Amino acid sequence: MNSAVIVFPGSNCDRDMAVAIEQVTGKAPKMVWHRETSLPDGIDFIAVPGGFSYGDYLRCGAIAARSPIVAAVKQAAERGVRVLGVCNGFQVLTEAGMLPGALMRNATLDFICRDVALTVTNSDSDFTRLYAAGEQVNFPVAHHDGNFNADTETLDRLEGEGRVAFRYTTAINGSARDIAGILNDKRNVLGMMPHPERMVEPAHGGNDGRRLFESVLAAL
HEC-encoded secondary structure of the chain: CCEEEEECCCECCHHHHHHHHHHHHCCCCEEEECCCCCCCCCCCEEEECCECHHHHCCCCCCCHHHCHHHHHHHHHHHCCCEEEEECHHHHHHHHCCCCCCEEECCCCCCCEEEEEEEEECCCCCCCCCCCCCCCEEEEEEEECCCEEECCHHHHHHHHHCCCEEEEECCCCCCCHHHEEEEECCCCCEEEECCCHHHCCEHHHCECCCHHHHHHHHHHC
Query: Which is catalytic among the residues 34, 143, 144, 195?
Result: 195
Query: Which is catalytic among the residues 34, 95, 143, 197?
Result: 197
Query: Which is catalytic among the residues 87, 95, 144, 204?
Result: 87
34 is annotated as an active-site residue = no
197 is annotated as an active-site residue = yes
Catalytic positions, written as ranges: 87, 195, 197
